[in-house]
A and B are shown apart, each in its own frame.
Chain A
Amino acid sequence: MDSEKWMRAQSIFHEAADKSPAARADLVKAECGSDEMLTGVVLRMLEEDARGNSVLDEGLGSTVSQLLDGETSRVPHQMFGPYKLLRLLGEGGMGVVYLAERGDLGSKAAIKILRDSALSPMRRQRFEVEQQMLAHLNHPSIARLYDADTLEDGTPFIVMEYVEGSPLNIYVERRQLSINDLLRLVRSICEAVQYAHAQAIIHRDLKPSNILVTDDGAVKLLDFGISKHMPPGDNGNGNTATAFRLLTPAYSAPEQIRGAPTGIQADVYSLGVILYERIAGRLPFDLSNQTPGQIERIIEREEPKPPSYFGKLHNTASWRIADLAWSELDTLCLTAMHKDQKQRYQSVEALIRDLDHYLKREPLEARPDSIRYRASKFVGRNRRALTWLTMTTMVLMAIAAYSTIRIAKARRATEAEVARTQQIQRFMLNLFNGGDVEAPSEDLRVTTLLDRGVQQAQMLEQDPETAAQLAQTLAGIYTSLGKVDRADPLLQSAFDKRMKLYGPNSPKVRKR
């Protein structure tokens, strides 16, 4: 049948449908003539229509229930390609891991089935492609990925090297490693992560339970890049929920918790926490009994105590570390775990270098937080205590300072620059005068005003250089209020705009 005939069949059908059976037959005969196919189609349609109990009129409910019921329980009985499941190895937040054996070769593998996760057919392809990339990771300290696929219902699973070893924390506790041996162990973990980063693969969920250590002290990292295939959580509050189901918050960087884009520095952060935990004998933050919102706030805002604070109590007996060495360990951990991505070690390689410096008793490359940073932290911590008036004064001073600097610079520069500066100044003052709309109410927070300013700035059409300067000005005020996290994206956008405008080699293109 073709479209035309279908049109014809329908029109005869409609004409005949509401007639009496006898009239129907006559009409079909008259309209279809000798076309047997057309006659057949129309008669079958009429017959079906007359039944009045079409399948399509029944709800889909019972079908859905019958087809989708009880599907998950079937998983363990089936074969995974050439592999047969032997026994359950473990069960974690991410999924279930089975020990499996290859029927033909008798070799062992671990099969991990990602729990509650179903990929659509299109994403399955992408999952496979990604896993194939991961299969190319060939490093003695990374568990090999043999294969990855999805079950028929879209549940992803991966076949990987079966490693007989203990999770990092258990291994370290059992062995009572010296501090130097511990750092060497962490160093070899770092090397594996660095190797993956060089292949453009980020782990995103590094934690002690993903790091196995074999009896002879060899490290094996598991689960590279899997976390993003986990389903979002159902606590119903957006990104945070997603981040929580996916990640182990204790080891996750603030930007991950926020749901912001993450880079290799997220792994640096996790490595920092892993090291911190071993040195301090506990995690940097006590997240037990906290709500997701509280956890988010703690990880984003709260400064951890230096690991020596706990470590000195915990480890004095066995480690005998000099005070200077303690402070270096503090610097190492806290630099790796810095809230601000840009203040962290910029690569795992940089972290490795400082581990080496420590082991060789050389000075570290990392410096404890600068005074300027601490001062801004002080303001940040005491923000609530300061009155709105004080805040306003500070902000106005900041504007004045920024403007002065800009004007001073502008004198040396062109007329256009002056105009731009004035434009920015007007924008800022206008903002703090409450804009054109209304005077700011007494309880309006300075940050609220600033946030509004950022929005307005984004809406204004400006030449890129003005926009960049404006972003930088706003960032400067955020920084002096201790809101480094809000300053960063602005600085980044200023940087990006200038990159576009002047190219990477211009002196105008500076990060800060």
Chain B
Amino acid sequence: MPRQRFSARASAPSLPADVGQEEAPSPDSRPVDDLFSATYEELRRLARSVKRDYGQATLNPTALVNEAWLKLAASRASEFESVLHFKLTAARAMRQILVEAARRHASDKRGGGEVMFVVFDEMTTPVRCDRQIMALNDSLDELALLNPRQALLVESRYFGGLEAAEIASLLKVSEATVSRDWRAAKAWLGAEIRGRA
């Protein structure tokens, strides 16, 4: 039977080129790649089981990341350089999971549209959070070209729930620098998202 290729998936989001970047699989990046995959899959699975076990309960990303850590630490702790390294990986995995989910929502005509509003400003311009996530993702990619460390900061803080102190030790800068960079990045990204979403 002739093999007909078909694909039911969206292409993977491009990630900023910076510390801990997972490129397409090459022999050298295999361990990192595996670690990322394990984290991604664990978060995904947890999100689903939380949904299944607790119905409408709000999925709390910080709790998800923590639980994923407990789970993965049991088997693969040694592969992560540190808890921080894990959180960084988890942040990236979470970003990817959400971007993919957002793309599905956006492309899903039947399911799309309803109840996905986030109050954006005093004018209550409704913005669907799938578009918001995709806009953030794109803007973050752009920021990564301008300043990779700043993009990493946003990614780990927003998607991984890392504290300022953790990020400071990760990037080897002071906490004051972290909050300055965060404020500027936030202002720029916010404006960008407003323009795109």
Contacts and interface: CB of A to CB of B under 8 A. Distances in A.
A48 B118 contact: no
Contact of B8 (A68, A80, A116, A135): A80
Tell which of B71, B94, B97 has the most Cβ of chain A within 10 Å. Answer: B97
Interface in B52-99: 56, 58-61, 64, 71, 74-75, 93-94, 96-98
A70 to B, nearest CB: 7
Contacts of B174: none
B191 A45 contact: yes
A49 B180 CA distance: 12
B188 A55 contact: no
A119 interface: yes
A174 interface: no
B193 interface: yes
B139 to A, nearest CB: 10
A41 interface: yes
Given A64-B61, A72-B48, A41 B104 contact: no
A123 interface: yes
A163 to B, nearest CB: 15
A120 B190 CA distance: 29
B103 to A, nearest CB: 7
B114 to A, nearest CB: 10
B101 A153 contact: yes
Given A62-B129, A147-B6, A122 B37 contact: yes
A60 B159 contact: yes
Contacts of B190: 48-49, 51, 54-56
Secondary structure at the B interface, as helix, strand, loop or mixed, is: helix
Nearest to B6: A81
B51 A14 contact: no
B191 A58 contact: no
Given A14-B180, A62-B118, A56 B36 contact: no
A276 interface: no
Contact of A41 (B45, B74, B116, B188): B188
B10 A55 contact: no
A167 to B, nearest CB: 25
B166 interface: no
Contact of B60 (A41, A45, A61): A61
A56 B111 CA distance: 26
Contacts of A2: 146
Contacts of A74: 108, 111
Interface residues of B, number: 74
Contact of A49 (B37, B100, B111, B183): B183
A10 interface: yes
A340 B52 CA distance: 41
B175 interface: no
B25 interface: yes
Contacts of A81: 4, 6, 8
Interface residues of A, number: 71
B98 A67 contact: yes
A90 B159 CA distance: 38
Nearest to A118: B44
B183 to A, nearest CB: 7
A154 interface: yes
Interface in A152-175: 152-154
B64 A116 contact: no
Contacts of B187: 13, 44-46, 48-49, 54
Interface string B150-181: 00001000110100000000000000000010
A443 interface: no
A354 interface: no
B56 to A, nearest CB: 8
Question: Which among B25, B180, B188 has the greatest number of chain A C-beta atoms within 10 A?
Answer: B188
A63 B129 contact: yes
Interface in A23-75: 41, 44-49, 51, 53-72, 74
Contacts of B71: 234, 236
Contact of A238 (B51, B74, B116, B158): B74
B136 to A, nearest CB: 7
Contact of B104 (A49, A71, A124): A71
Contacts of B61: 59-61, 64
A55 B193 contact: yes
A280 to B, nearest CB: 36
What are the 7 tightest A-B residue pairs by CB atom distance, in nearest-first order?
A81-B6, A120-B40, A121-B12, A45-B187, A67-B101, A120-B37, A118-B44
Given A48-B191, A62-B58, A118-B44, 4 more contacts: A14-B180, A48-B190, A119-B37, A147-B5
Interface of A: 1-3, 6-7, 9-10, 13-14, 17, 41, 44-49, 51, 53-72, 74, 78, 80-82, 116-126, 135, 144, 146-147, 149-154, 231-232, 234, 236, 238-239, 242
8 contacts: A44-B187, A45-B184, A64-B64, A66-B115, A117-B45, A120-B93, A147-B4, A147-B5
